[in-house]
Amino acid sequence: MNNVTVFDEPQLEFASGERLEHPRDGLTLLGPVDSKGIEKPSHLCYGVVGTKSGVAAFREFVEAINRPIPTDSNLDEVLWPHFPGFEEAFHAVLPDKPSWVEELDGQDLQNAVTECDDHKRVFGVVSLFLSRIRAAKKSDEPFRFFVVVVPDIVHANCRPLSRIQGGHGHRLSKQERELRCQMGDFFEAYEPEQYSYSVDFRRQIKARVMELEIPIQIVRESTLRLVAADKRFGVRHLTPLSDRAWNLSTALYYKAGGKPWKLSGVREGVCYVGVSFKNTHAAHTACSAAQMFLDDGDGVVFLGDEGRWYSERKGEYHLNRESARRLLSGVLSTYQSLHGKRLTEVFLHCRSSVNEEEFAGYQAACPEGVKLVAVRVAPERLGLRLYGAGTRPVLRGTFWQVTAKRGFLWGSGLKPRLRTYDGSEVPQPLCIDVQHGTADVEQVARDIFALTKLNYNSCKLGENQPVTIHFSSAVGEILVSNRTVKQHKPNFKYYI
């Protein structure tokens, strides 16, 4: 068997059940899938936290996206379509003035962001933002989300590989931290809690803010610059304003509880579960997590067991039977408590292969009558490539079936709708292996291709990976690198 097929671009469903393939077309012409049409649009209540300049920049940005933003005359309108305005696209009102504004003290932020100790620096910066959100939550405002406007110095200094030059304080070694714990109150400024969190600003604030039960949208202050074509050396290059308006508006609408679009033609009762693993701080141990998705983009996240899941010999992660059962049982029961819809088929998407013991555990978690299929979905980074004739790459949606249970899917490639390929290298395929259960590999590939269109953190025609795989590392990092956070929310909107 050696068949090559090019899938049609999957259709999306919008208001009134109408279908189009590009989310920007559907939102412009029809509105979001959960739109009530003639009813009065709802006002989205939100708050903003940032420096004085960051808050001002966000207000200007909201004023801009509440009006139509035409495509610049020197740009291709197919590639960079105009933005019709937030209310026109989403049938909801994003007020120019937030319901609550909290401005950070510039000196406090400067002191926190230049601390030499990585853990203390990120913990201090996150705490500044969280203290303002906590203050706002004490009000009676029905907040849908908070916008965290981050100065670029935070982005530069609060990531795992950040190194501070000319800062203050010093980095504590593990031995020094242990000594300070033993000495107790002798060191008044020492907070052992800060060493249990991630040294990545985004991962840490996403985890710690869950206790406040409100999703946040993090945006860099430079992203809000209204003029994108700034070619000065050292200045961040941005996409056109209309493109940033599309992406940020879609994310805000989703964080507010809206559904911008849903997949069209998905079989009733089918769900897709992405299984991921992340190494923990303990030697040779890892933690498992699962993310479930339906056709309407609703996501459920569940943290699994920690254990010695990684095999250095095979270079893969494998759960034992009981931990596999608990992982899938946890995500299915969480889904049932939130949504309550009957499931008929469960497709597991894993980067690692699934062995017999794991699959037996997953099967034990499935209710009677529910079909279970385990699929390995992994980017083929160093292997197979296809080359198109002439100068153009292979078409997005190309599927090469090599056996009855294996094939290669190109989620990236030339997009006829856009007349371009938005990459700089030869497109990499996804290797799809149906390892357990009975399923048509071509239908599995079509489903995976459709799931490349469920990223509500942007508003694009499609990604190169399905949402079950694309966000697995990010979700795992938030959960695993902040293990002391106990109040993990199951809703996917808290993680992106």
The pLDDT value recorded for residue 424 is 82
pLDDT of residue 278: 87
> In this prediction, what percent of the chain has a pLDDT beyond 90?
69
CATH topology of domain 35-255: Rossmann fold (3.40.50)
Helix 321-338 / helix 356-365 crossing angle, nearest 10 deg: 30
Residues 6+ apart with CB under 8 A from 313: none
Q: Give per-residue pLDDT as tens, 289-336.
A: 999 998 777 789 999 999 999 887 778 899 999 999 999 999 999 888
Residue 384 is predicted with a pLDDT of 87
Residues in the chain: 496
With beta carbons less than 8 A apart as the criterion, state whether 425 and 449 touch.
Answer: no
Lowest model confidence (mean pLDDT) among 224-233, 246-255, 293-302, 466-475: 224-233
pLDDT score of 136: 94
Rounded to 10 degrees, the C-alpha dihedral 202/208/210/216 comes to -30
Taking the C-alpha atoms of residue 371 and residue 48, their distance in angstroms, rounded to an integer, is 45
Q: Is the pLDDT of residue 188 over 70?
A: no
39 neighbors 431 (Cβ within 8 angstroms): no
**What is the structure's pLDDT at 341?**
79
Nearest to 283 by CA among 312, 319, 308: 308
Look at residue 387 in the predicted model and tell me its pLDDT: 84
pLDDT at 173 (0 to 100): 60
Residue 233 pLDDT: 60
* Mean pLDDT value across residues 350-369: 96
Please give the structure tokens belonging to residue 287. 């933690």
Query: Is 47 a residue whose pLDDT tops 80?
Result: yes
Query: Can you point out the beta strands (E) in 405-474?
Result: 406-409, 430-436
Q: Is the pLDDT of residue 181 over 60?
A: no
Give the right CATH number for 263-494 from 3.30.420.10, 1.25.40.10, 3.10.450.50, 3.20.20.30.
Answer: 3.30.420.10
Pairing mode, strands 310-311 and 316-317: antiparallel
- DSSP letter for each residue of 16-48: GG-EESSHHHHHHHT--TT--TTSPPEE--EEE
Smallest CA-to-CA distance from 6 within 389, 380, 424, 416 is with 416
The overall average pLDDT reported for the chain is 90
Q: Residues 377-394: pLDDT tens digits?
A: 999 887 888 887 778 899
The string of pLDDT tens digits covering residues 160-171 is 988 887 777 766
The token duo for 383 is 């292997």
- pLDDT at site 234: 65
Residues with Cβ within 8 Å of 467's Cβ and at least 6 positions away in sequence, in order, are 274, 293, 297, 299, 451, 452, 454, 455
C-beta separation of 207 from 485 below 8 A: yes
pLDDT (0 to 100) of residue 398: 96
Lowest mean pLDDT among 179-183, 362-366, 420-424: 179-183
Give the whole-angstrom CA distance, residue 202 versus residue 78: 33
**Domain boundaries of the chain, sorted by first residue:** 35-255, 263-494
- What does pTM read for this prediction? 0.93
The distance between the two most distant Cα atoms of the chain, rounded to a whole number of Å, is 72
Name the nearest CA neighbour of 248 among 236, 264, 262, 260. 260
